[in-house]
Structure formats: structure tokens, C-alpha cells
Amino acid sequence: MKPPRGRREASAGSALRDGRPARVIRHGLARVLSKRGLCSRTEAARWVGDGRVSVDGRIVRDPEAPTLPDARIAIDGVAAVAARRCYIALHKPRGLVTTTRDEQGRDTVYRCLDGAGLPWLAPVGRLDKGSEGLLLLGNDPAWAAAITDPATGPSKTYHVQVDALPDETLPGALVRGVEVDGELLRAQAARVLRVGQKNAWLELVLDEGRNRHIRRLLAAFDVGVLRLVRVAIGDLALGDLPKGAWRELTADEIAAFVPPSATVRPSARPARGRSG
């Protein structure tokens, strides 16, 4: 049976291992470009389709063309050398969308990175337009996958301003959860932070992230959200990072999200940041 399109195993000319040819795994060209940290897979597919990408000196127009990870690839004649690995934490302001390109022309989180001289970065997970707080970006697909994996990824902590004065039963009800549109929505942990005259602040911890999870969960209890701020991902806290500012993660912060067996390649440059 042939391997699926976009992934091939080649043994001809491969180094011998235990007396047998070693298997060489090929992936789709767009995926190889993306894994080099140069662009998203979607953008890579667009470049390939436009005839801008060559492999070993030949133009390739099929984004799924089987390609060796270390193939000699060029974009517009310029060698597509793997970008330095970069991992940053951004304090996302409310009103920006978490996407590389918005079809409606809305401002994106990349406005906060304008002129920073960073390599291409992709958001790790999402924060919707009306939410704010800690957002990670990077160009290491394996690292991002470890964070966004619903089974093993880290929990996320949110501070939520609500338009109601919660009674003592609400935190427990949020943890037990409720079915909304056929989905069981719940919090891993919940507590009341402080109560004002007309509104209150809650802390919710999620170990999964469904679409508009917190807003839908609270709405089921007739509680509206005024502000939603993500304050931590795992043990990484937003801290005092100013709104719209970013900083590069330290090697220890990067490694905290990676399984022990994985290799971490932190930035070769010292951590720095910028206020947006």
C-alpha cells in the first residue's frame, strides 16, 4: 500500500541501519516550509501555487509534493533557510483579532509587533476579539502543538469581570458544568476574586478551550461578561507586562511547555520586548 500523498518513505540510497536501509520520511512541500518557521502552511501553499518555490533547482507548483525536510528549497531564488526559533508572550489588547490576516480588514495582534524585526510567528491558541491578556506566539510547530493539545496541554487561568453579584453557589456550579448546544461546558476551578456594588470579578481555570467557552458557560447562568483577561498559561503568568507589549520567553519558560523527551531550541538572542 502506498503512503498517503504528501508523505513518502524512500529507502534507495539511504544509509544502512542494522543491515537494513533507513527510512527517509518526506512531507508535503508546504509543510516543510512551515516547519522551517518561515510562514504558515496556508501561505506556503500560496507561494508554491504561484510558482515562487523551487526544490533542488526546479520550480514545484504542488504544495503536497513529497519533499525531504533538508531539501534545498528557494523562494523567489533566495535560499529558504530555517528561521531562528522565536517564542514570545504578548499582552493582547481588547479589540484585536488573533489571526495572521483578517478578511474583514480588522486590526490583528500583529499590529503590536510592527517594526519589531521578528521572524514570522503564529499565534499559539486563540483569544477572541473581545478578550485580552496573555497570548503566546512562536514559529516552532512542535512547541505550539504541545501547548494546544487538548489532552496534555497546560491549563489556562482567566480573570472575568461579570455584570452580576455571584452568590456562593456559582463557583461550584461552574465546576460541575452545564450542557450548552450539546456540549458540556465546565471550569476546572472557579472562585470569586472580589465583589463590587454592581459587578464582580471571578477567576476561572480551564483545562480545555471550546469556542467562546467562558462566555457561553456564564451565559447559561444568566451572567454576562464585561471583561475577560487571560492571566496565565500553565505556570507562565501575564504579570506586569503592559497592554500591547511583548517579550521573548526565557529558555526555562519555553522548556516548561515541552515534553521531557523533546528538544528545545530557544532563541539565540537575549530576551527583549516592546510596548505596542
DSSP bridge pairs for 72: none
Instruction: Give the pLDDT score at 1.
Output: 46
Instruction: Give the pLDDT score at 151.
Output: 85
pTM, to two decimals: 0.79
Instruction: Give the pLDDT score at 209.
Output: 78
Q: Angle at the Cα of 103 (from 101 to 104), degrees rounded to 5?
A: 120
DSSP string, 226-273: EEEEEEEETTEE-TTPPTT-EEEPPHHHHHTTS-TTS-----SS---E
Verify whether residue 128 is a known catalytic residue. Answer: yes
Looking up cell 544509509 gives: 15
With a cut of 70, list the residues of the chain below it in pLDDT: 1-24, 259-276
Instruction: Give the pLDDT score at 7.
Output: 46
Instruction: Give the pLDDT score at 20.
Output: 57
Domains annotated on the chain, with CATH: 8-79 (3.10.290.10), 87-151+239-274 (3.30.70.580), 156-233 (3.30.2350.10)
pLDDT digits (tens, 9 = 90+) for 125-135: 989 999 999 99
Q: Which of 18, 50, 114, 128 is catalytic?
A: 128
Instruction: Give the pLDDT score at 21.
Output: 54
Instruction: Give the pLDDT score at 150.
Output: 84
